[in-house]
Structure formats: C-alpha cells, structure tokens
A and B are shown apart, each in its own frame.
Chain A
Amino acid sequence: MRAASALGALALGLAACSSSSSGTGSSGSSNTTPIKIGVSLSLTGDFSADGKAFQQGYQLWANNINANGGLLGRKVSLDIVNDASSPVQVATNYQKLISVDKVDLVFGPFSTLLTKAASQVVARYGYAFVEGAGGGPSVFTRGLTNVFDVSLPVANNLVSFAKWMAAMPAATRPKTAAYATQDDPFTAPQLDAARAILEPAGIKTVYNKVYPSETTDYGPIASGIISSNADIVLVGTLLPDVSAFIKQFVQQNYNPKALIATAGPDQGQQFIQNVGANHTAGIMVPNEWYPTANTPGNQAMIDAYIKAYGGTAQDISADVPEGYSVGEVTAQAVKNINSLDQTKLIAELHSGTYTSVQGPVKFDATGQNIAAFSYVFQWQSGALVPYQPDSNQVLQPVPPATAPILYPKPAW
C-alpha cells in the first residue's frame, strides 16, 4: 500500500513537472504571460526609414492579434531593439534577445545585409527566423534551415521587366541600357539577372557601375548615366540614392524611355516628397504588394495603418506589409502546432502553406517563398499601378487597374 502511494505520488509529481520540450512554453500550460517577440530593427543609420516602416508593420500586426484574442490565448509583446543598421550590432542584439531576454519568438530585421548577419546567431540557438526583408540570394546559400523569408525572392525581381523589354519588336525595343547599383547583396543580384536577359536581346550596356553603399555624393554616377544617354536605366538603389539620381536627371533634362529601381519608388509618400509629385510619372519598381490587392486581411491592415498613422493607402511603404506578413505567417505556424517549440515550429514552416497580406506563402527547402509573385509597379497620376506579364511578356495592368503601361516614360 505504501509502495503504491509512493508510486502514485511519484506519478503525480512527474505529471506536474512535465511541460514542453525544447524552446519555451506550450499551449498546454495555463501560462497567461505575454508571448515575448524579439526584434532588431534599424531605427537609426542608413536603413532607418525602412526600419521605421517595418516597426509599423510589426506593431500593426501585434495590435491586430491582441485585439483578436492573442496567440495561443496569450497577448504578444514586441521587444524591439535598435541595430543602427549595423551588421555587428544586429548579431549582438539577437544574441541578447535570445540568451538574456529569453524571448519566445524572434522576427527578422530589415535588409539582406542584416538578415545574413543575424541568421547565423539565431540558428545557433535553434530559433525559427521568419523575416520579410532578407531576400538576397546569399541569405539562402549557407545551408541554414531556420530562415524563412515571407516576401518575394529578390533575385528575380527585375525579370518581368527585362523580359518585357527583350520581347519588344525590334523597331520599338531599346538599343542601350545603363546600370548602376549599390554594392549590396539585395540590389546587385537583381541587376545581374536583368542584364543577363537584356544583353542577349541586343540591348547594349553603355554604362555599368557599382558604387559603395556609403556613397554620399551621387553626382558622378548620375552624370555617368546621363552621359551614356542610355535608352533605359536600371538602378539598384534604396530611397536616398534613387531620389538623388532622379533629381539629377530632372536637373540635366535627361529622359530615359524607362527607369526602374530595385527599391525607393515603393516608399509611398516619402518617395513623392523626395522627388516631387510631378516627377514620379512612369517610374517603375518591382514588388509583390499593392494597396488594392485582394489578399486576406489587406484592407484591414490598411484601415488600421491609416487610423494609426494617417495619410492614404498610397502613402504606405511596401515595408509595412512585409513586416505584417512576418507576424501573420509566424502566428499561423504557431497555431498549427499549438506550441512555441522552436524545433516543431521550424518543421511546420518547412511544410505548411500560409496566407498573408502579400499573398500566399510556401517555403522551399532553403526558406524562400516559392508562392510569391513579382509585379512591376509604375507610378501614374500619383499612384502605384501593378502590372504583370501576359503570355507574350507584355506587361498588362492587374485588375481592377486598366491603364496601359507608360512606355516611353513621360518627360519630366
């Protein structure tokens, strides 16, 4: 009898002690403390404008999920720290967030550069690393299995544009192209992929320069593009440099037939304010999200953004839905496994299919989103209009948009 009681007590004791395996917490417990999500964002430094937009995206998601019962019955709380756009600081931040602050989940930083630096640290601790702005190819070639990019793989961002140019009849096809890009793992591969399509099509490269991302005087590069008198211009930029280039093009009265940038024109109101509202017409940028996209939760996110930050839907930076999508996908995966266990979460992310404001999400073995689709957007009458290629590679407006793509670009 005594032995049975002892055995019973032992069994009860073991049952009370057993909870989750690796990682933190589980739905089985009556834990009501907030789920802590650690994030390193560029709140200062070269990426600060994008970092701020990402912060907005993450915060909007957190507000939304908390207003709808939380995650696994618990509120979420964002622990955001500043990496000052530094690859060294971002690695330190994630180390601290995981090992000292003991966060339950982590979300990714802004940019391929910082995602690469941070992902190694996060992998060391076995955490799932869901991110929205680290799409450069080099993020996915290091054999890590914990990185998941909810956004479009960037290497092919300019392919639709390049194929459209290459497929034009000889009479209208541009003869020359100028390329200029930051020395950055996000921008440079996109231009390389585009040039690989344009050159065989007979579109001669008349200017091709890579400049350090620390460049402050863009004048010589802009002058080089202008002097080349190229028919089309492809630039690998973020907002500061594309704004500087456009200013110089306007000042020098240089009107290429087409101008596409890897990023910058997707920054909504900031882009308009920096280049001037009457200088946006015809400028193109690739992306996978647009305000009128009929994706689950998109209108609700836009309404919440306007309520929180003002403006209109066209003012929203493309970084906001990227951050929001990170939250959405992570939450869906956590709910699917009903756990915060990182090993199970990584396995679930590799196998599941998800929805986001940017569209469907499904990860391949390397963590890239193979369900994402790249549109080419063009500024027309103060709004970004999405286009996608038809069977002849001609860019057609995505319904409900109807306006044909502007080519050649209107003069400044």
Chain B
Amino acid sequence: MGTELAKAVVDGVLTGGVYALMAAGLTLIFGVMEIINIAQGILVVLGAYLSYVLEVHFGIDPFLGLFLTIPLMFGLGMAIEWAFIRRLKSQNRTALSILVTFAVAIVIEGILTQFFSADLKTLNAWYIDQSLHIFGFYLPYIYLLGFGLAVVLLAALYVFLYRTRTGFSIRASVQNRTGAELVGIDINRVSGITFGIGVGVTAAGGMVFGATNSFNPNSGYDLISRLLVIVVLGGLGSVGGALIAAVVALVIEDVTAVVWSPVWASTMFFAVLIVVLLVRPNGLFGQQAVRAQ
C-alpha cells in the first residue's frame, strides 16, 4: 500500500502539471476580462488536433510543433475576442460570456468533426511510450516533459505579467478595469492580448493532453468542468494558483482511487473545491477583486 500511495502522489503531481497547462489560459482570461471561457475544453482539443496534423502529415515532433501551434492559437484567441467577446456589453457580460463561448465551442467542435470525424486519435512519439526508471518507479517521459513544460510556460507567463509593460497593463486591468482605463490603458488591446495568450498557452496544454489521452471532437466536454474547478480552486486570475490547485486536486483524486475507490475519486476532485472555498472563498491564491462599477 505504501508503494501504491507514493505512486499515486507522484502520478497526481505529474498529471496536475498537464491540467495546469490546460487551465492556465482559462484563469488568465477570467482574471483579466471576467469572461468564463466555456470553449476552453474544445480549445484544448483543437490544440491536440493541430499537433496531430503536424505530426502525422509533416512529421514534426509534438514539442517542436508548439513553435507553430502556439502562435496560431494566439491569433485565433485574438480573433475570437475581437469577433465575439468585445461586443458583449458591460452589463451581464460574465453571464453572456458563458453563452457566447459555448456557441464558439459548438462551432469549433462541428468543424473538427467535419474534418476528423469521431475517430479517436492520439499523438505518437518515442517519449510517449517510454519511462524513466528511478527508485523503483517508472516515470513516463511524456508526463515529466509535460510537467517541465508547464513550469517553464507558467514561469514565462509570470515574467511577462510582472516584468513587462503589457503585463503591468494586464494586471492593472485585473485589479480595476475602470481605473486602468482612466490611466490610459487600452482595455480592448489588453483584452485581445490576454485572450490570445490564454488560448495560445492552451495549445501547449492540448499537445500534452493529446499525447497522454485518446481524443476526438467530443473530448472537450469532460475537460471543461475539471478545468473550471482548478481555476476556482487556485484563485481566479492566479496562474501560479492554477498549478498548485491542479497538483492538489489531482493528487487527492489519485490517492482516493488507490486508498478508497475509483468510484469516489472524481467526487473527491470536486469535493476538495467545496472544502477550500469554505475556508478561503477566493480560492487558494485568489485576491479580493476591486472592480469598478
């Protein structure tokens, strides 16, 4: 049992990194724009498909392909923000964003089904099947690389948010949208860049998701509820919080499956959210938002 428990903790940490990559964009978008991007799940799947196309048709390694898929999805994110999100009025903006992004999700799913059908796909590379054998554990390379990618990308995001002028503008918008506008920050430009970054990072999450799971256009539905839990648990707008929350939630889920039963594992994943919010209503690293009315 001790070995199984240790294995569950290790698996939870590594899988948590994968989910953090998928959730980072969602928390950034909500933190800055108060937009609940229900399309996040299908955008992860889209990222997986883009990596799949590059791998199968052009022979490009999934990790190297990120140099193409991240900018592509950054552009897509900016386009979605300009076409659909920017037109939402301030009143009921958050509630309407659920409907609008759900519609976007349906459209993307339909397009993917048209091109790829419902056949299950997965990414293939030598590091997906092989593991690092250390201290009696087999640690799959893909999960190690995925966790490393999550740390690198989220660190880069942190540097961007805290060390660049655009990052300051984004953080100012998080703290006080109207105040940021008053001091001359172009909120539309900030929103477009934020949405683009959020979707661009999702390309990385999609690639790792596609390498560790079989997927088809319907796979997004299973993801979005879990990503929302991670985002709220970590604190809305906190990218680092998303990583911590993902690791905590996945470790608890995996340990529950081993110690208790897989039947209760998913329940515990969601239950941990309720418990944390009772103690910390803004999530693990959330801040009391000061919003202009």
Contact = CB atoms under 8 A, between A and B. Distances in A.
Interface of A: 43-46, 48-49, 51-52, 183, 209-212, 214-217, 219-221, 223-224, 227, 239-240, 243-244, 247, 250-253, 270, 273-274, 276, 279, 412
Contacts of A223: 4, 7-8, 11, 254, 258
Contacts of A211: 262-263
A253 B138 contact: yes
B4 A183 contact: no
Interface SS of chain A: helix
Contact of B253 (A183, A209, A220, A273): A220
Contacts of A227: 3-4, 7
A49 B119 CA distance: 5
Contacts of B117: 52
A44 B113 contact: yes
Nearest to B110: A44
28 contacts: A45-B218, A45-B221, A48-B217, A49-B120, A49-B216, A51-B118, A210-B263, A214-B222, A214-B266, A215-B262, A217-B253, A220-B254, A220-B257, A220-B258, A220-B262, A221-B262, A223-B7, A223-B258, A227-B3, A240-B120, A244-B213, A244-B214, A251-B130, A251-B131, A251-B140, A253-B133, A274-B121, A274-B122
| B257, B258, B263, B265: most-surrounded residue (chain A CB, <10 A) | B257
B124 interface: yes
Interface in B1-42: 3-4, 7-8, 11, 15
Contact of B262 (A44, A212, A274): A212
Contacts of A52: 117-119
B43 interface: no
Given A211-B263, A223-B258, A273 B121 contact: yes
Contacts of B265: 215, 217, 220
Given A217-B254, A223-B258, A251-B140, A49 B118 contact: yes
A216 B130 CA distance: 22
Given A220-B265, A223-B4, 16 more contacts: A44-B218, A48-B217, A49-B119, A209-B262, A215-B265, A217-B254, A221-B262, A223-B254, A227-B3, A247-B212, A251-B140, A252-B131, A253-B131, A273-B120, A274-B121, A412-B129
Nearest to A224: B258
A75 B225 CA distance: 46
Interface in B213-258: 213-214, 216-218, 221-223, 226, 250, 253-254, 257-258
A362 to B, nearest CB: 33
Nearest to B254: A220
Contacts of A216: 213, 222-223, 226, 266
Contacts of B124: 276
Contact of A217 (B113, B133, B214, B250): B250
Contacts of B121: 273-274
Nearest to A278: B129
Contacts of A247: 128-129, 212
Given A44-B113, A215-B266, A251-B138, A221 B257 contact: yes
A270 B119 contact: yes
Interface in B99-124: 109, 113, 117-122, 124
Contacts of A412: 129
Given A45-B218, A250-B129, A274 B120 contact: yes
B164 interface: no
Interface of B: 3-4, 7-8, 11, 15, 109, 113, 117-122, 124, 128-131, 133, 138, 140, 212-214, 216-218, 221-223, 226, 250, 253-254, 257-258, 261-263, 265-266
A49 B109 CA distance: 15
Interface SS of chain B: helix
Top 3 nearest A-B pairs (CB, nearest first) are A220-B257, A48-B118, A211-B262
A212 B214 contact: no
A251 B118 CA distance: 26
Contacts of A215: 262, 265-266
A209 B261 CA distance: 8
Contacts of A49: 118-120, 216
A279 B15 CA distance: 23
A412 B131 CA distance: 13
A236 to B, nearest CB: 13
B24 to A, nearest CB: 19
Nearest to B124: A276
A97 to B, nearest CB: 21
B261 A217 contact: no
A128 B214 CA distance: 36
Contacts of B118: 43-44, 48-49, 51-52
A28 to B, nearest CB: 42
A375 B225 CA distance: 40
A224 B120 contact: no
A301 B113 CA distance: 25
Nearest to A210: B263
A211 B226 CA distance: 18
| A216, A219, A243, A250: most-surrounded residue (chain B CB, <10 A) | A219
A214 B4 CA distance: 23
A32 B31 CA distance: 63
Given A209-B261, A215-B266, A273 B218 contact: no
B19 to A, nearest CB: 9
A224 B140 contact: no
B22 to A, nearest CB: 12
A227 B117 CA distance: 37
B216 A48 contact: yes
Nearest to A250: B129
| A48, A210, A251: most-surrounded residue (chain B CB, <10 A) | A251
